[in-house]
Amino acid sequence: MTSPLEQKKIKIAGPSVVTANRTWDGIVVYRTAAKSWSADLSEAAIVRNSDEAKALLAESVADDVGAIGPYIAPVQVGADGKIEPGNLREQIRRTGVTIGQSAQV
Amino acid sequence: MYAYDEIDRTLVNERVSEFRDQVKRRLSGELTEDEFKILRLQNGVYLQLHAYMFRVAIPYGTLASNQLRALAHVARKYDRGYGHFTTRQNIQFNWIKLAELPDALEDLAKVGIHAMQTSGNNMRNVTSDQWAGVAPGEIEDPRIWSELIRQHTTLHPEFSFLPRKFKIAITASDHDRAAIKIHDIGLKLIKNEKGETGFEVLVGGGLGRTPFIGKTIKHFVHGRDILSYIEAILRVYNQYGRRDNIYKARIKILVHELGIEKFSREVEEEWQHIRNSSLQIDDEVIEDIRSRFSYPAYEKLPHMPDELRQAAADADFEAWRKNSVAPHKVQGYSIVTISLKPIGAPPGDATADQMDALADLADKYSFGEIRVGHEQNLALPHVAKRDLPALWKALDKLGLATPNVNLITDIIACPGLDYCSLANARSIPIAQELTRRFANHELANLIGRLHINISGCINACGHHHVGHIGILGVEKNGEEVYQITIGGRADEGAALGNLIGPGVKFDEVADVIEDVVEAYLALRERPDELFIDTVKRLGVEPFKERVYATR
């Protein structure tokens, strides 16, 4: 779970998405194939190699008003096409904190 | 309490207007995130995992009841109904929306609260002893000097773009509750042979990636010279501090690399240029600040009122009183620490309802005043002893009477991977599990004073280096792994802990801590030998042996 803030080189080992936080309210969002942002991971554009990742990230960075701090995050894609976060950090960003009562909405 | 004047109010209000305009321009796209980032950071706004995080300053840990209600209001209206008190007398809101931040700041400004310099490479919130002004034996109220420094350094152009963040803490008691030895500058109020007030000045303390205990740079600086002396330190830091490497940019690295002797010579030279300038403080300035602090009109009360004598028959009350109530400088009064560490809950969190109710209790029992300590607990600083039983019952109903202050479940923990974008591992769930393991009050009492500190990354916001037991979460091959240290302390005898061995996995941490504690109970010479003293006497080996013999 090396912090993506330390992400210097784009090197991906498997299916990945670009994720960020929406500018006006900060919620977690994912870059879609339609060049927009969605709070739903299932709508994220999947990239599978460094060139695709670079291109998606560049496009995401350019949309500075929409979302901030974009980075590439690993995902797992099931046989049924279902997308799941690829590490604990991204799992927590998707499903929320793991600490119980005080974190609930 | 300190009463803001018109200059303070104008400054805070103008800052809100300025930030409102900056947010508007950001949301319209007129400002890019790169341009906006430094502006939001200067107003305490970070980007964390789930959302923006908003950090609000509580200068020297003093809050009025109306200010606590304003924090409750922000938690309820703009966040998710709770706030998190930090190790530096700040409160953080974890789910704030950028678009609503100016409104939140405006609501806080109405009661004199702001978020200036709670982030960024500038002078951060000046912190102090949460018992300031009420602790028996104190030289004098350190908040007067904290306020002086706060005023001088707020928006000071020379201190707004330092090589890195800069933190000052002040204490006026022999027992250090402000952790001054782990600050960039630590100040201890003392008197010289002539009875004049001044400071022992420490410099270069800090934790993080490269921890150091602060070193004494000058044994006595007269009070009237403290601003010029601090400024001299900052000028040397500004000139020589590294800006090329964020990991080597703190003053502790400069002090370490130059050596304290050379560093102090540089400071002395600079100081001679400025000590007789306008930075020399007139007595009237100090007296003006002193006059703006109001102190309660204490009654003449008995040392042992009937209410307290009668309540002593209640074992639960006595357990709480012995743990959470401390002597006050005025007879008949007490300082009450309010544990924000209920069993199974995140350390340092308080709900909006709890904050509102505490504000009411402060009005009823503590002259409307609340304090915030670096241990992530609160305190009511002026409680009449006769009111202790009634206060305890009220706190108990709020879930705020856990009698665990300074015990093993009074854990300091950073937000960790549950919230923080820098974290590598979770902190809060570790703390929660440990509080469950040691929930039995008799067991916790048997163990005695024992501080556990947990950080979810090397930045050490949970001060793990100075925990009696320190727990540092790191990432190894995609897994959370925790390194355990023992023997650290953050008080007047500040020391860094020593690693006991290889890191352990998330699920094993609580078992390992149980082993360490069992080893201590078996090794201590007598029941009142504290954990930290047993470690000092025996070193880490016996603990290491106990933990790793079967792992």
Q: What is the pLDDT of residues B456-477, one digit of tens each?
A: 999 999 999 999 999 999 999 9
pLDDT value at B37 more than 60: yes
Contact (CB<8Å) B32/A64 = yes
- Is the per-residue pLDDT at B55 higher than 90? yes
Residue B52 has pLDDT above 60, yes or no: yes
pLDDT at B194 over 60: yes
For residues B114 and B67, the answer to whether their CB atoms sit within 8 Å is no
Q: Rounded to a whole number, what is the distance in Å from the CA of A5 to chain B's nearest CA?
A: 7
pLDDT at A104: 43
pLDDT at A103 over 70: no
Concatenated DSSP letters of chain A: ---GGG--S---SS-EEEEEEETTT--EEEEBTTSSEES-GGGBPPB-SHHHHHHHHHHHHH-TTTEEEEEEEEEEE-TT--EEESSHHHHHHHH--SS-GGG--
Residue B186: band (very low, low, confident or very high) from pLDDT cuts 50, 70, 90 = very high
With beta carbons under 8 A apart, name residues in chain B contacting A103. Answer: 80, 346, 418
Instruction: Say if the Cβ atoms of B52 and A3 lie within 8 Å.
Output: no
Pairing relation of β-strands B412-413 and B452-455?
A: parallel
Calculate mean pLDDT across residues B125-141.
96
CATH code 3.40.190.10 for B134-291: no
Of B26, B417, B478, the CB nearest to A92: B417
Question: Which tokens go with A94?
Answer: 């998707």
Do the Cβ atoms of A3 and B351 come within 8 Å?
A: no
- Residue in chain A closest to B32 (alpha carbons) equals A64
Strand partners, B104: none
What are B546's two structure tokens? 């106990």
- Alpha-carbon gap, residue B401 to A46, rounded angstroms: 51
The CATH code of the domain at B412-548 is 3.30.413.10
Q: What's the token pair of residue B471?
A: 């727990």
Question: Looking at chain B, which residues constitute the CATH 3.30.413.10 domain(s)?
Answer: 134-291, 412-548
B219-258 pLDDT per residue, tens: 999 999 999 999 999 999 999 999 999 999 999 999 999 9
**A62 has a chain B CB within 8 A of its CB:** no
Q: Which residues of A touch B98 (CB under 8 A)?
A: 23-26
Looking at residue A3, its pLDDT comes to 54
pLDDT for residue B378: 98
Query: For the segment B420-450, what is each residue's pLDDT rounded down to a tens digit?
Result: 999 999 999 999 999 999 999 999 999 999 9
Q: How far apart are CA B418 and CA A16, in angstroms?
A: 22
Q: Say how many C-beta atoms besides its own lie within 10 A of residue B390's C-beta.
A: 16
- What does the alpha-carbon distance between residue B442 and residue B90 come to, in Å, rounded to a whole number? 32
How far from each other are the two terminal CA atoms of chain B, in whole angstroms?
Answer: 53
Cβ neighbours of B158 (radius 10 Å) = 12
- Rounded Cα–Cα distance for residues B328 and B380 (Å): 11
Tell me whether residues A102 and B50 touch, CB distance under 8 A: no
Q: B28, B31, B98: which to substitute to probe chain A, counting the most A Cβ within 10 Å?
A: B98
B428·A99 Cβ contact <8 A: yes
How crowded is the C-beta side of B316, counted as CA atoms within 13 Å? 7
Q: What is the arithmetic mean of pLDDT over A17-33?
A: 98
Does residue A1 surpass a pLDDT of 60?
no
Banded model confidence at residue A8, pLDDT cuts 50, 70, 90 = low
ipTM, 2 dp: 0.93
- Stretch B54-73: mean pLDDT, rounded? 97
Class in CATH terms, B6-109: alpha beta
CA atoms within 13 A on the CB side of B267: 28
Q: Is B27–A65 a contact, with Cβ atoms under 8 angstroms apart?
A: yes
Report whether B207 contacts B182 (CB < 8 A): yes
Residue B16 in this model has a pLDDT that exceeds 90:
yes
Report residue A80 as tokens: 């049924």
Scanning every residue of chain B, which has its alpha carbon at the shortest distance from the alpha carbon of A104? B80
pLDDT mean across residues, chain B:
97
Three-state SS for B157?
A: helix
Cβ–Cβ below 8 Å for B98 and A100:
no
Q: How far is B447 from chain A (nearest CA, A)?
A: 26
Residue B204 reports pLDDT greater than 70: yes
Beta-carbon separation of A88 and B417 below 8 A: yes
Kindly state whether A27 is in contact with chain B, defined as any CB-CB distance less than 8 angstroms: yes
Strand B45-47, strand B52-57: pairing: antiparallel
Alpha-carbon distance values, B502 to B363, B467, B509, B547, B548 (Å): 50, 18, 12, 10, 9
Q: How far apart are CA B486 and CA B466, in angstroms?
A: 9
Tell me the CATH number for domain B306-397: 3.90.480.20
Chain B residues lying within 8 Å of A24, measured CB to CB: 27, 97-99
Using the predicted structure, report yes or no on whether residue A47 has a pLDDT greater than 80. yes
Q: Is A103 on the interface with B (CB under 8 A)?
A: yes
B408 pLDDT band, cuts 50/70/90, is: very high
CB of A75 within 8 A of CB of A67? Answer: no
Token pair of B34 as six digits: 């790169």
| 3-class SS shares of chain B: helix, strand, coil, % to 5 | 40, 20, 40
Q: Is B323 exposed, middle or buried (0-12, 13-18, 19+ CB in 10 A)?
A: buried
Mean pLDDT of the B380-389 span:
98
Q: How many helices (H) and strands (E) does chain B have?
A: 18, 21
Q: Do A5 and B421 touch (CB under 8 A)?
A: yes
> How far is B35 from chain A, CA to nearest CA, in Å?
11
The single-letter DSSP state of residue B304 is S
pLDDT tens, position by position, B527-542: 999 999 999 999 999 9
- Write down the pLDDT at residue A105: 41
Domain with CATH 3.90.480.20 in chain B: 6-109, 306-397
